[in-house]
Amino acid sequence: MITSENQVFLKKARVLISEILRNRHFFSARRGYGGSCSDIRGPGVESFAGRVYVIHSPERENHMDREPLWNCLSRAVEFRKSFLAEPHESAFRLVNGFTEHLPGLVIDIFAKTAVLHDYSADGEFEREPEPLKTFLLENLPWIKAIVLKKRSSDSIEEKNGVLIHGVKPDTRIREHGIAYAIDLQMNRDNSFYADTRLLRKWLIENMAGRSVLNTFAYTGSLGVAALGGHASEVIQTDLSEKFLALAGRSCSMNAFHYTGKNFIVGNFFPVV
């Protein structure tokens, strides 16, 4: 049975869908940090069912010029303030724009380096990075370097990241007492997945005396965490020698014993 509330919802949905089809360009953002859809206001903004839809038109100002940019960034920083305390050695995601009203933008922090990921199809954030730089340097004054990665670019250099502030990105972070080597411009990713923080913590707490095989190891952070938890042996495999070299650097930073036999370069099936 369709209630009167459902009918109102469906009517609003039909109007919005018609507008979307007429303009053929929109974005949506779920509530991702405890805020509400009313956090973004202004002409062309519609919301229902916990989402925000921005209808684009020639009259709309650029995404980077709107006041909500600063509002959303401020809310993201406030939500993650527990990660912002000194000594600024860890890695974490400061902004996930896809769930925080800034689709196309992701900001990661590695020690004192900020990495901006521009996922927009037209390089919107890459074209005008100054508002983002200004916000970061005013609100996180300990940031020493900023790297911008344009994910949709045809240029390998732009995908891997261009330094837009500072002299050199950080090359190491520390998490749960373990040091990890990083190379923030090695490829289009960050060389380190901050979102597996709790998995590394679990490995540190549960791998004592165990033998560990880390396949598809990438830069080996999980294997390094296992060594930090006193695993008896860790074998790491990956197709890329370059990635495993970074795992070796992480082991050296922590004075973990290893030999060439602990790192196997090759395709998964022949190796295993």
DSSP string across 14-55: HHHHHHHHHHT-EEEEE--SS--GGGS-STTEEEETTEEEEE
Residue 48: φ, ψ to 5°: -165, 160
Judge if the upstream peptide bond of residue 87 is cis by omega within 30 degrees of 0: yes
Residue 252: CB atoms within 10 Å:
12
pTM for this predicted structure: 0.74
DSSP, res 255: T
Q: How far is CA 93 from the centre of its chain?
A: 5
Distances (CA, A) of 97 to 29, 76, 89, 116, 255: 8, 9, 23, 11, 38
- At residue 91, the pLDDT reads 96
Q: 134: burial class by Cβ within 10 Å (0-12, 13-18, 19+)?
A: exposed
- Tens of pLDDT along the chain (272 residues) come to 566 666 666 666 666 666 555 544 433 333 333 333 333 333 344 444 444 444 343 333 344 444 678 889 999 999 999 999 999 999 999 999 988 888 899 999 999 999 999 998 777 777 778 889 999 999 999 999 999 999 888 999 999 999 999 999 999 999 999 999 999 999 999 999 999 999 999 999 999 999 999 999 999 999 999 999 999 999 999 999 999 999 999 999 999 998 889 999 998 888 88
Q: What are the two backbone dihedrals, phi and then psi, of residue 87, each rounded to the nearest 5 degrees? A: -95, 15
**Look-up: residue for tokens 């020690």?**
111
The predicted pLDDT at position 44 comes to 40
* Contact by Cβ (8 Å): 225, 180: no
Task: Output the pLDDT for position 233.
Answer: 95
The predicted structure's pLDDT at residue 1? 57
Q: What is the pLDDT of residue 4?
A: 67
Both tokens of residue 46? Answer: 């519609």
Contact of 115 with 107, CB cutoff 8 Å: yes
Give the pLDDT of residue 70: 86
